[in-house]
Amino acid sequence: MASFAISSSFINQEDVGFRCFTPKCCKRISKRIVSVMAPQQSQRTPSTTGSVKTGMTMTEKILARASEKSQLRPGENVWVDVDILMTHDVCGPSSFDVFKKEFGQNAKVWDREKIVIIPDHYIFTKDERANRNVDILRDYCTEQDIKYFYDIKDLGNFKANPDYKGVCHVALAQEGHCRPGEVLLGTDSHTCTAGAFGQFATGIGITDAGFVLGTGKLLLKVPPTLRFVMDGEMPDYLLAKDLILQIIGEISVSGATYKSMEFVGSTVESLSMEERMTLCNMVIEAGGKNGVIPADATTYKYLEDKTSLPYEPLYSDEQARFLSEYRFDISKLEPLVAKPHSPDNRALARECKDVKIDRVYIGSCTGGKTEDFIAAAKVFLASGKKVKVPTFLVPATQKVWIDVYSLPVPGSGGKTCSQIFEEAGCDTPASPNCGACLGGPKDTYARMNEAQVCVSTTNRNFHGRMGHKDGQIYLASPYTAAASALTGYVADPREFLQ
Amino acid sequence: MAAATFSSLHHKISVSNSINKAFHPQSSPNLIKLPSKTPRPSSFNSISPKPTLSPLSTRPRAAADDVAAPATAFHGVCYVVGDNIDTDQIIPAEYLTLVPSNPEEYKKLGSFALIGLPAAEYPTRFMTGGEFTSKYSILIAGDNFGCGSSREHAPVALGAAGVKAVVAESYARIFFRNSVSTGEVYPLESEKRLCEECKTGDVITIELGDSLLINHTSGKEYKLKPVGDVGPVIEAGGIFAYARKAGMIPSRAV
């Protein structure tokens, strides 16, 4: 076996393995990664590696490391060490209740620094139970001395709450809690979003969370991996939302049940972190257990100013076995929607241009990030006209809200998103939270309280999802949503972007 | 571009399987400490699939941790739903302010079970207004039952409403997992598409030991799939009971 200069004392001398970087990237990464670093000496062909018994996928490797096993196969059940547990106002109170009931009233959480509590679902409402749930969280966080509790007290003015962030999955990324190679569990199905950082991230329930709170471990079944290879230059009218709608439409809402979805290819590599988050966010809509995108320079750059904790990325082996592989030539794709009432009810946006709509919603962990708003603003800018239907804008987090009001939109001569939105006649960007993506209490801003047709950048369009049982929701990218707002019908963004 | 260099290289290089974590795993006082080098007790790791269903230890939520008499059969009237019944239909989001660990609110959740089912497709409602429990104690479903959100309120609402078992063609992962972890409903899988064989109102018996579903109304019998890897967890009564049995966490202090 070849031997390499091992620069880190954390790595066992017996371990053979290295990640190959060009020297330039070595310099940038060595600040953050505790890993074996060596200049590339010679290409290692698979036959010389010797020690690899069976190639593993990225997901298998992450779970293997987290369960202290050298080898794992799909289907195995293992106890996994958890790096981060996230919960929010809907599930947090019960998770802590379960924890106390099962571990004792005086029990302490397994690690006060590995638990991130993010109120985000039902915040700006007069619903007493919803408000009470945030209070319950605060009590527990105080009692357990939880390090990361993004609290909110003044519901009338989100800006008056310095700790408050907003939508949990976006906050996790922005606050540096997502790191390559780690295991992140959250009491929310869209926890899979964090897979964009090359980590194992999945949603769990209250009881499981209560268990993790006490032990820092969970019993997980190793999923097999579906590989999605996306190549080709991303057309300037497509966004990651179109890519994932394409995939879900291809494999159906149960196509990835109990499976991991790995996204690779030149197109994926060209995506920003926020776009990668959008891709992984809707893995759950295909039934997927988790999604992963290999960490690379884009990932490291994003994390540079956000986390100081060391991390160690893992990558699928050359010999890893995938259940299936799907290949896409992205340059041939067109803007898509998911028609009511299923995320896999895929259709071309241009084929739905006769569908009259009543409103547009731009927000949520899926489509309420900074880049999503910049994308929407680009369409409004290109058009120069006003929207024809009420257009609701809900930035995911405080940071996104600030970006919407401060970042200049390319090609606008220095205008901010907020200015462009105002000129287009959109609603004023609202307080950051999950908002109407899932309906919520009846007084939730932009909740669908009548049977209407909505184009939305959110993630689900099942019956009643945004509030009204007979509402019709078309899931779309921010480009498509903005284009639809301008025409008053479901619209292909190429009407404005080309 | 650096990113392109990464990906083209890392596919060619295989990374060692045995890279240890760079930092020490936290050991919580809530865990029974196991030396990291010794193999774990076999009851821990080897979760062998069971060919037949074992009796279920039902663990009513918010009750003491005493094992109730294990169920060997379920008997009742069934309610039939189709494919892709998502969690928004099982328990719409507006009811998620109810906290399942609060006994009063647990009960209330039950009253909203399956209220999200569209009226046009389901004219016979699962619950009639004002009730806290349904007359239907067995749910029969198609594919991908429980898809959507991770909300544990979904199996909880069904359990609170009196559903003892769900027999679906297939499940969404998180719903299935939550059912097992909580012990709220017994998640069974059918071999055939029972949502087309059974009708709402049929009288059903499920014999767990024989993996059999008997429809007394139609006179037909159907084989159910073995429970598989989660058998021991369901049998123990949920994730906590299982972990206690496996010696991983201490028994509850009395």
| Closest residue on chain B to A206 (Cα) | B152
* Tokens, residue B86: 């998502």
Residue A4 contacts B, CB cutoff 8 Å: no
Model confidence band, residue A8 (pLDDT cutoffs 50, 70, 90): very low
B140, HSE (Cβ side, Cα atoms, 13 Å): 28
Q: DSSP letter string over A20-32? A: E--HHHHHHHTTT
B44·A79 Cβ contact <8 A: yes
Mean predicted confidence (pLDDT) in B219-243: 88
pLDDT digits (tens, 9 = 90+) for A334-376: 999 999 999 999 999 999 999 999 999 999 999 999 999 999 9
Query: In whole angstroms, what is the distance from residue B77 CA to residue B72 CA?
Result: 17
Neighboring chain B residues of A120 at a CB cutoff of 8 Å: none
- All domains of chain B, ordered by start, with CATH? 73-225 (3.20.19.10)
Does pLDDT of A24 surpass 80?
A: no
Is A103's pLDDT higher than 80? Answer: yes
Task: Report how far residue A261's alpha carbon sits from residue A230's, in angstroms, rounded to the nearest whole number.
Answer: 13
| Residue B29 Cα distances to A216, A217, A493, angstroms | 11, 13, 56
Instruction: Give the pLDDT confidence score for residue B27 in this predicted structure.
Output: 58
Give A445's DSSP letter.
T
Q: For chain B, how big is the Rg over CA atoms in Å?
A: 21
pLDDT in tens, A462-498: 999 999 999 999 999 999 999 999 999 999 999 999 8
Highest mean pLDDT among A4-13, A21-30, A186-195: A186-195
Tokens 């009338």 sit at which residue? A156
Instruction: Give the mean pLDDT of B237-241.
Output: 89
In terms of pLDDT, which residue wins out, B15 or B95? B95
Distance of CA A307 to the CA centre of its chain: 17
Residue B250, pLDDT score: 87
Q: State whether residue A267 sits within 8 Å of chain B by CB.
A: no
Averaged pLDDT, A39-53: 48
Rounded CA-CA distance A370/A400 in Å is 5
The bridge status of strand B212-215 relative to strand B220-223 is antiparallel
Mean pLDDT, rounded, of chain B: 78
Contact A114 B249 (CB under 8 A): no
* Tens of pLDDT, residues A74-95: 999 999 999 999 999 999 999 9
- Sheet containing A290-292: order of strands: A290-292, A260-264, A225-231, A324-329
Closest Cβ opposite residue B15 in set A79, A98, A314: A314
Helix, strand, coil percentages in chain B from 3-state DSSP, rounded to 5: 25, 20, 55
Distance from CA of B218 to the nearest CA of A (A): 30
Query: Nearest CB to A253: which of B11, B84, B240?
Result: B84
Task: Name residue, tokens 């996230």.
Answer: A86
pLDDT at residue A51, rounded to an integer: 52
Tell me how far apart the alpha carbons of residues A81 and A33 are, in angstroms, rounded to a whole number.
Answer: 20
Percent of chain B topping pLDDT 90 = 59
Q: Tell me what pLDDT residue B21 has.
A: 33
Nearest residue of B to residue A444, measured between CA atoms:
B94
Over residues B173-195, the mean pLDDT reads: 94
Could you read off the pLDDT of A65-78 as tens digits, one per residue?
999 999 999 999 99
- Contact between chains at B17 and A258 (C-beta distance less than 8 A): no
- Which of B86, B105, B173 is closest, CB to CB, to A462? B86
Q: What is the pLDDT of residues B143-166, one digit of tens each?
A: 999 999 999 999 999 999 999 999
* CB-closest option in A133, A203, A287 to B144: A287
**Interface contact flag, A71 B17, Cβ < 8 Å:** yes
Mean pLDDT across chain A: 91
Residue A333, classified by CB atoms within 10 Å of its CB into exposed (0-12), middle (13-18) or buried (19+), is buried
CB contact (8 A) between residue B3 and residue A296: yes
Element (H, E) at A476: strand A472-476
Share of chain A above pLDDT 90, in %: 89
Could you tell me if A392 lies within 8 Å of chain B, comparing CB atoms? no
Instruction: Please indicate if any CB of chain B lies within 8 Å of the CB of A114.
Output: yes
Q: Is the pLDDT reported for residue A433 higher than 90? A: yes
Round to whole Å and give the CA distance between A343 and A244: 10
Please give the pLDDT value at position B253: 55
Answer yes or no: are the C-beta atoms of A472 and A360 closer than 8 Å: no
Q: What distance, in Å, lies between the first and last C-alpha atoms of chain B? A: 62
Q: CB pairs below 8 Å between A and B: how many?
A: 287
> pLDDT at residue A391 above 80?
yes
Chain A residue with minimal CA distance to B13? A44
Q: Is B214 on the interface with A (CB under 8 A)?
A: no
Query: A184-193: b or e for each residue (b if 16 or more CB lie within 10 Å)?
Result: bbbbbbbbbb
The interaxial angle of helices A398-406 and A417-424, nearest 10 deg, is: 80
Query: Could you give the CA distance from residue B31 to residue A281 in angstroms, rounded to a whole number?
Result: 32
For the cut 70, the answer to whether the pLDDT of residue B13 exceeds it is: no
Tens of pLDDT, residue by residue over A239-295, are 999 999 999 999 999 999 999 999 999 999 999 999 999 999 999 999 999 999 999
Residue A104 pLDDT > 50: yes
CB-based burial of residue A412 (10 Å sphere; 0-12 exposed, 13-18 middle, 19+ buried)? middle
Q: Say what percent of chain B tops pLDDT 70.
A: 73
Q: State whether B170 and A217 contact (CB < 8 Å).
A: no
Q: What is the dihedral of CA A202, A208, A209, A214, to 10 degrees?
A: -130
pLDDT at B37: 38
The answer to whether B9 contacts A20, with C-beta atoms less than 8 Å apart, is: yes
Which of B13, B1, B32, B10 has the alpha carbon at shortest distance from B251?
B32
The separation between the first and the last C-alpha atoms of chain A, rounded to the nearest angstrom, is: 55
Cα distance from A410 to chain B (closest Cα, Å)?
23
Q: How far apart are CA A270 and CA A274, in angstroms?
A: 12
- Interface contact A219-B233, CB threshold 8 A: yes
Question: Which residues of chain B lie closer than 8 angstroms to A294, CB-CB?
Answer: 6-7, 10
pLDDT of residue B227: 80
Q: For the residues A158-169, what does the mean pLDDT come to?
A: 97
User: Highest mean pLDDT: which of B61-70, B197-206, B219-228?
Assistant: B197-206
Compute the distance between CA of residue A312 and CA of residue B199 in angstroms, rounded to an integer: 54
Region A392-421: mean pLDDT is: 98
A169: contact with B, CB 8 A cutoff: no
Question: Taking CA atoms, what residue in B is nearest to A282?
Answer: B148
Distance from CA of B177 to the nearest CA of A (A): 8
Measured between CB atoms, does B9 come within 8 Å of chain A?
A: yes
Any A CB within 8 A of B177 CB? yes
Report pLDDT digits (tens) over B242-251: 999 988 898 8
Does residue A421 belong to the interface with chain B, where contact is any CB pair within 8 Å? no
Q: Is the pLDDT of residue A388 over 50?
A: yes
pTM for this structure? 0.84
Instruction: Report how far residue B223's alpha carbon sits from residue B239's, in angstroms, rounded to the nearest whole number.
Output: 27
Q: What is the mean pLDDT of residues B116-124?
A: 95
Q: Please say if the pLDDT value at position A10 is more than 50.
A: no
Confidence grade of residue A109 (pLDDT, cut at 50, 70, 90): very high
- Name residue A311's beta-bridge partners: A33
Closest residue in A to B85 (Cα) is A462
Given this model, what pLDDT does residue B251 score?
A: 82
CA distance A316 to A323: 13
**Which one of A13, A72, A254 would you mutate to disrupt binding with B, by most B Cβ within 10 Å of its Cβ?**
A254
Which residues contact residue B87 at a Cβ distance below 8 angstroms, ignoring those fewer than 6 apart?
A: B146, B147, B148, B149, B151, B153, B154, B175
ipTM > 0.90, yes or no: no
What average pLDDT does the segment A319-339 reach? Answer: 97
Q: Which of B:95-124 have CB within 8 Å of A?
A: 96-102, 105, 116-119
